[in-house]
Amino acid sequence: MASIKGTRSRGIALHAVLVIGLLLSAFPFYWAVIMSTHTTSEIFSYPPKLLPSSHFLENARHLFESVDFFGSMLNSLLVAGSVTFLVLFFDSLAAFVFAKFEFPGRGLLFALLMAIFMVPAQLAAIPQFVIMAKIGWVGSMTALIVPAAANAFGIFWMRQYMRGAIHDELLDASRIDGANFLRQYWHVALPVVRPGLAFLGIFTFMGTWNDYAWPLIVLTNPDNVTLQVALSQLNGTHGTTDYGMVMTGALLALIPLLIVFAVGAKQIIGDLGKGAIR
């Protein structure tokens, strides 16, 4: 009886800690929602207002008048969607080779990949801009998509995932059936590693969607700016910032991320559940 009570007490304490952690994690999002419904003066009033107000539509109208919100969102969707698709394809293909095939220099190439992985992206901004300028891509969204089509983290992540998820017996059986490399990749590897691909897709889309520094540097054409760059241009009159309008823009910019996360998380949980049943 004492052990049962101790187990129950530990369970209650664990759930209490989890609930507190959930509330602390959700509070910034809740506060963003609250600020998007208030004016700037109400946001800075004391005591802070913790309940929503009625200025959301007014803030949204000011937002749409200040920047081309939907045009910038379309640009961000195009860039983030294209980069995510290319990263999932190229990174999984390279990871499949690194994980399941022997070839001369594999260790050296993977060590070089890890060295690239450890180099901060900011160090590559200037040489990358020079390359984009020489080939005439400065100002176009191609300069955002092509350089990000593959990355070291994605290859590393998918290699580690494939090493444990894809059994050599499956590949041996496919070779006996006459499957070539691409058929092994498409029909054997990809169905097994869909949870890993879903995580990489979420991670890549969110990172590309929230990227600010490189689009700010390379997008000299105002018609091609992404949403994060457009939101950074939100300023009120006389140099003051309308924080209600800014928070409204930031809140609306979260909607595609929430959709992608929900779809990707469902894919991850569903595939893991199928694997457990098998």
pTM (2 d.p.): 0.87
pLDDT tens track, the chain, 278 positions: 556 666 777 888 888 899 999 889 888 888 888 888 888 888 888 887 888 888 889 989 989 988 899 999 999 999 999 999 999 999 999 999 999 998 898 889 999 988 888 888 888 888 899 999 999 999 889 999 999 999 999 999 999 999 988 888 889 888 988 889 889 999 999 999 998 999 999 999 999 999 998 999 998 888 889 999 998 888 654 467 788 888 999 899 999 998 998 888 877 776 655 544 44
| Predicted local confidence at residue 117, as pLDDT | 83
Cis check for the bond before 191: say yes or no (omega within 30 of 0): no
Polymer length of the chain: 278
* DSSP 8-state class, residue 46: S
Residue ranges per structural domain of the chain: 2-55, 67-233
Cα→Cα distances 277→192, 197, 240, 270, Å: 14, 20, 58, 11
Residue tagged 């929230």 (tokens): 210
pLDDT score, position 241: 77
pLDDT of residue 237: 46
Cβ–Cβ < 8 Å for 63, 69: yes
Cα–Cα distance measured from residue 195 to residue 273, given in angstroms and rounded to the nearest whole number: 10
Fold of 67-233: MetI-like fold (1.10.3720)
Residue 47 burial (C-beta neighbours within 10 Å; 0-12, 13-18, 19+): exposed
Is the preceding omega at residue 47 within 30 degrees of 0, hence cis?
yes
Compute how many other C-beta atoms are within 10 angstroms of the C-beta atom of residue 199. Answer: 17
